Structure 1
Amino acid sequence: MTQQAVSLFTALAGRHAVVTGGGSGIGAAIATTLAAQGARVTVLGRRLEALQAVVAAHPGAMQAVAADITDAAQVDAAFAQARAQFGAIDILVNNAGQAHSAPFAKTDLALWQQMLDVNLTGTFVCTQAALGDMLTARWGRIVNVASTAGLVGYAYVAAYVAAKHGVIGLTKALALEVAKKGITVNAVCPGYTETEILRESIANVVAKTGRSEEDARAEFAKGNPQGRIVQPQEVADTVAWLCLPGSAAIHGQSIAVCGGEVMA
């Protein structure tokens, strides 16, 4: 094993990372990748059983904490619980999110508010809960998992698009505030990725149009110039790179992981 490979396995040794929505899909891949680089990882989400399944594969390196990220009191209690075991928080990955589709005229206020609460307000609440530790240490990494929907517009998901645009705006604003304090703030913007959200979207297309699952999947893939669906590990590798000490100059950026669907 090369020295470079050895250093990668210990690049985040001693760092405490919190990953929201860590029980499945992209979140589980991120948590596993950060643990492989030496971090102690708290996976946080609403479904404790799913979180515990991720933790079980990494005994000692991970812990599971349940909380609804839209509830500030639950978040504060969860972050206090996380600190009790693994210490101050060095890395925060705001991954938790939801996506529901509806034509704009049929998007009611409840759906609009739900998309904002989970995707935007949850990111705000968790960031406020973690930022104090990073300011004290004068070192930190905040990575917000947004979406290509935060970079461009998509039909029939207006509330989700608005929320993810908000996440990118929040990323830029906070990045300016903490630029000289040893903390980096970035967003990662996946295209359609092999997750539970995508599978639900495909099932929705099948149910509403009568198309086959294969045809529906191809429709989602065709917007990617590579002609495929992004894999969770590809997103996780990008997030982990942004958390490395050597990525300190990458700041305030929104990095698309989408096979060229969106180009800067």
Structure 2
Amino acid sequence: MMLTGKHAIVTGGGTGIGLAIARELARAGAQVTITGRRLEVLEEVAEENMHPMVMDVTNEDEVVRVTAEAVAARGPIQICVANAGIAEGRALHKTEMEFWRKVMATNLDGVFLTLRESMKSMATTDWGRVIVISSIAGVRGLKGAGAYSASKHAVIGLMRSLSEDFIGGPITFNAICPGYVDTPIVTHNTDLIAQRAGISEDEALAVMVKSNRHKRLIAAEEIGSAALWLCSDGAQSYNGQTMMISGGHI
């Protein structure tokens, strides 16, 4: 149990990638605070060592309060996984300011707030791991999803800047950039693509599957395993990096 005694926080920890990461960390011995907007979802999936707390990452006061409460209950945060996000595409001429701000509020502002509040306690410790969940869209861009791609590029820039701020110390900062992962977000986007393009749901799913170089959806557990490795001793010199998990070279 290599993470025994460590306190982790995973935003968006009730479903998909966040849940897979939370489970890996908890099974490795960490006490994992999982956050999300729906307590019933968090409580339903929580396993041993997983502690549900309601937190909307777009609400600054809530992030400040809940993070402080988690630290008071389980000690300094030493693993921060900023995972909460939304994945919605819209053409440039259809992107209203309200939609733009909605995406940025969750995908960028939410990551910033999560990292800022987690670092208040992590910076006082002798070991830490910060993991931002970006996307392949944050590396190469995604057609028809300018706001989403911009937000995912931005969190990589934030991560790289912080890795420089703390370089040489005991805390590392990295981003995981998955391709299409088999999560509820893909299910939701399948419906949206089908409606927008006037195609069947099977055809819409095939569009996303083909975007992964190995022509299959990635299992959320694969992302969980990658996050666990980033918390291992073998990853102590892996810092300021983008870990692309897309089934092949992009």
Counterpart in the other structure of 1:117: 105
Counterpart in the other structure of 1:39: 30
- Paired residues for 1:95-110 under 5 Å: 95-110=83-98
Deviation at 1:261, TM superposition (A): 4.9
Between 30-39 and 219-228, the greater mean CA deviation after superposition: 219-228
Question: Among 160, 167, 187, which residue is 1:179 paired with?
Answer: 167
Q: Say which SS state the counterpart of residue 251 (structure 1) adopts.
A: coil
Deviation at 1:215, TM superposition (A): 1.6
Q: Residue type matched to 2:144 in 1?
A: Y
What does the per-residue CA deviation read over 1:192-223, in whole Å, with 9 as the maximum and x for residues that have no partner? 11111111110112223332222211111112
Deviation at 1:132, TM superposition (A): 2.1
Q: Residue type matched to 1:42 in 2?
A: T
Distance in structure 2 (CA, Å) of the matches to 1:190 and 1:209: 24
Q: Residue type matched to 1:87 in 2?
A: G
RMSD: 1.1
Deviation at 1:80, TM superposition (A): 1.6
What does the per-residue CA deviation read over 1:169-190, in whole Å, with 9 as the maximum and x for residues that have no partner? 0010000011122100000000
Q: Residue type matched to 1:202 in 2?
A: T
Distance in structure 2 (CA, Å) of the matches to 1:208 and 1:77: 40
Distance in structure 1 (CA, Å) of the matches to 2:207 and 2:18: 25
Question: Among 63, 66, 70, which residue is 1:82 paired with?
Answer: 70
Distance in structure 2 (CA, Å) of the matches to 1:166 and 1:206: 29
- Paired residues for 1:147-226 under 5 Å: 147-226=135-214
Counterpart in the other structure of 1:136: 124
TM-score, length-normalised on structure 1?
A: 0.92
Change (3 A) 1:203 1:261: farther
Hey, which bits of structure 1, 4+ residues long, moved more than 6 A? none
Distance in structure 2 (CA, Å) of the matches to 1:225 and 1:164: 20
TM-score, length-normalised on structure 2?
A: 0.97
Counterpart in the other structure of 1:64: 52
Between 141-150 and 224-233, the greater mean CA deviation after superposition: 224-233
Distance in structure 2 (CA, Å) of the matches to 1:205 and 1:128: 35
8 Å CA contact 1:75, 1:126 repeated in 2: yes
What does the per-residue CA deviation read over 1:135-161, in whole Å, with 9 as the maximum and x for residues that have no partner? 111311000000001001111110010
Q: Residue type matched to 1:63 in 2?
A: H
Change (3 A) 1:190 1:108: same
Counterpart in the other structure of 1:25: 16
Q: Say which SS state the counterpart of residue 236 (structure 1) adopts.
A: helix
Q: Does 1:13 align with 2:1?
A: no
Distance in structure 1 (CA, Å) of the matches to 2:119 and 2:196: 43
Distance in structure 2 (CA, Å) of the matches to 1:223 and 1:88: 40
Residue ranges of structure 2 left out of the alignment (5+ in a row): none
Q: Say which SS state the counterpart of residue 137 (structure 1) adopts.
A: coil
Q: Say which SS state the counterpart of residue 222 (structure 2) adopts.
A: helix
Distance in structure 2 (CA, Å) of the matches to 1:253 and 1:148: 13
Q: Does 1:54 align with 2:42?
A: no
Distance in structure 1 (CA, Å) of the matches to 2:233 and 2:63: 27
Identity %: 38
